[in-house]
């Protein structure tokens, strides 16, 4: 199993290209199931989750072809992938595929909408909380589907097709918003989704679906209205920049000092997180085609953060922010409101010398003058990169094990950081 080895102490200087967003690419790929025409997606990142979803879609009969950069070539220029789902050969998503990635459960919406049936294994993914699929199932039932749970599978049917309805999400859910919005595009009549997620990735999916012929209004607000259409066509769509990757590298620069321009991204995608960085004493300036981040000479000021649905502080940047606060000149607090089990990185940061105490969903971080390298273990996708950020300033050598978590969501991380001066390398098993 591969490991990442870091020798801390180097500033970051240079340019880092930001990849297409994983959290946008996955629902966009799944949307290909809604049409028998070709859906072409540009700027698709090369990630383990993307490759896994390609295998899952292939199991349903989706053909694909890739144009553009291959792995380890032309950093920052995402691939273009054509998806052709004209022949759906199987409406079952088996456990051995779905268990490896939670988002693969989302195929249930498009399959129900287009094929009027689906049998999908209950999902797996990062162990950061229960994240039940109740919202998905309740919402699809509101659109007229009958769904039973049988031997670990959601067995769904919509004889005659889905029917538009009003559905109020009992809590904000990005995944459930994706699924119900896709399903409603082919439902008969009007669907109104209230308390919907407002994330940029939801807007990106709505933009793509609209290019395919869907009639959607209100994406990016709490109320989304969809007028069902008989069929969707193909389209060409560019995946938006990854705001989580953007924030992650901005925090890495804040941690190490230096001056880095993040290209191919947009500050508007993560204003709250960038505001927290400014509060920590980091300079963040929008520039043409990106963001310039630098901290030259000044220390890191403590800031308090509460995770919240968009436009609040993203839960997917919580671990990275905690790593940054381990070196703050004072005490900071991070409150996690989205997932009940997303502090597993705390004990690994403590191994590097961090001072962190937990009380329920609140982490109190007392900044320290130095971190010291040690072997640590990634516990989930975002936690793994928080250890990278800490390792960049830790004295000596830090070895991060189980980096397959990193490969799920960060494209060529060690190459991008290495190009800006980090002493970082991937060590292959054996």
3-class DSSP state for residue 74? coil
pLDDT tens string 166-193: 999 999 999 999 999 999 999 999 999 9
Annotation says 208 is catalytic: no
Residue 140 structure tokens: 């699809």
Does 289 show up as a binding residue in the annotation? no
- Please say whether the beta carbons of 111 and 90 come within 8 A: no
Both tokens assigned to 16: 């880092």
Residue 7: pLDDT over 60: yes
pTM of the entire predicted model: 0.95
Closest to 316 measured CA to CA, from 324, 308, 326: 308
User: Is 132 annotated among the ligand-binding residues?
Assistant: yes
Contact 72, 416 (CB under 8 A): no
Give strand pairing partners of 423. Answer: 7
Question: Which SS3 state, helix, strand or coil, does residue 209 take?
Answer: helix
Mean pLDDT of 329-342: 89
Residue 72 phi, psi dihedral angles, 5° rounding: 70, 25
Which is catalytic among the residues 47, 126, 377, 388? Answer: 126
**Could you report how far apart the first and last alpha carbons of the chain are, in Å?**
8
What stretches of 264-349 adopt beta strand conformation (E)?
283-287, 290-295, 305-306, 331-335
Select the more confidently predicted residue: 132 or 158.
158
Tell me the per-residue pLDDT of 284-329, one tens digit each, with 9 for 90 and over.
999 999 999 999 778 999 999 999 999 999 999 999 999 999 999 9
Q: 129-133, 265-269, 360-364: which has the minimum mean pLDDT?
A: 129-133
> Residue 169's closest CA among 133, 197, 189, 132?
197
pLDDT at 127: 43
Mean of the per-residue pLDDT values for the chain? 93
How many CB atoms are located within 10 Å of the residue 328 CB?
19
174 is in an annotated binding site: yes
The answer to whether 124 touches 83, Cβ cutoff 8 Å, is: no
282 assigned to a ligand binding site: no
Ligand-binding site membership of 332 (annotated): no
Percentage with pLDDT > 90 across the chain: 85
Res. 430 pLDDT band, cuts 50 70 90: low
18 token code pair = 């930001």
For β-strands 258-263 and 223-227, DSSP reports them as: unpaired
Residue 75 pLDDT > 50: no
What the chain holds in terms of domains, given with CATH numbers, is: 3-15+242-427 (3.65.10.10), 23-238 (3.65.10.10)
Q: Which residue has the tokens 């191919």?
A: 264
Chain-centroid distance, C-alpha 306: 18
């Amino acid at each position: 199993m591969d490991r990442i080895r870091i020798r801390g102490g180097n500033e970051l200087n240079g340019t880092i290209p930001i990849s297409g967003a994983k959290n946008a690419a996955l629902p966009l790929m799944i949307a290909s199931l809604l049409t028998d025409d070709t859906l072409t997606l540009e700027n698709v990142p090369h990630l383990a989750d993307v490759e896994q979803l390609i295998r899952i879609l292939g199991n349903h009969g989706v053909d694909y072809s890739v144009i553009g950069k291959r792995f380890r070539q032309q950093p920052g220029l995402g691939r273009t992938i054509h998806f052709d789902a004209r022949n759906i050969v199987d409406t079952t998503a088996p456990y051995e595929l779905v268990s490896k990635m939670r988002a693969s459960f989302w195929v249930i919406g498009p399959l129900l909408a287009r094929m009027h049936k689906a049998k999908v294994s209950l999902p797996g993914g990062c162990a950061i909380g229960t994240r039940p699929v109740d919202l998905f199932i309740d919402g699809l039932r509101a659109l007229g589907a009958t769904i039973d749970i049988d031997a670990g599978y959601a067995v769904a049917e919509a004889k005659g097709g889905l029917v538009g309805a009003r559905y109020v999400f009992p809590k904000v859910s990005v995944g459930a918003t994706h699924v119900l919005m896709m399903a409603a595009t082919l439902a008969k009549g009007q669907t109104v989704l209230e308390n919907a997620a407002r994330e940029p990735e939801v807007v990106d999916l709505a933009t793509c679906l609209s290019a395919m012929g869907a009639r959607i209004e209100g994406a990016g607000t709490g109320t989304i209205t969809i007028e069902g259409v008989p069929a969707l066509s193909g389209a060409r769509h560019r995946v938006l920049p990854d705001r989580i990757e953007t924030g992650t590298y901005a925090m890495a620069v804040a941690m190490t000092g230096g001056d880095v321009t993040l290209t191919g991204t947009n500050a508007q995608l993560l204003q709250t997180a960038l505001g927290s960085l400014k509060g920590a004493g980091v300079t963040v300036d929008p520039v043409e085609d990106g963001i310039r981040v630098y901290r030259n000479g000044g220390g890191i000021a403590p800031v308090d953060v509460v995770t919240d649905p968009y436009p609040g502080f993203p839960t997917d940047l919580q671990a990275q922010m905690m790593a940054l606060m381990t070196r703050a000149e004072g005490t900071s607090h991070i409150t996690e409101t989205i997932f009940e089990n997303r502090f597993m990185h705390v004990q690994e940061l403590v191994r590097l010398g961090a001072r962190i105490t937990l009380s329920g969903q609140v982490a109190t971080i007392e900044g320290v003058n130095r971190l010291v390298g040690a072997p640590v273990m990634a516990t989930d996708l975002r936690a793994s990169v928080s250890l990278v950020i800490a390792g960049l300033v830790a004295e000596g050598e830090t070895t991060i094990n189980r980096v397959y978590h990193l490969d799920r969501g960060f494209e060529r991380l060690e190459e991008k950081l290495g190009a800006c001066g980090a002493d970082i390398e991937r060590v292959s098993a054996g």
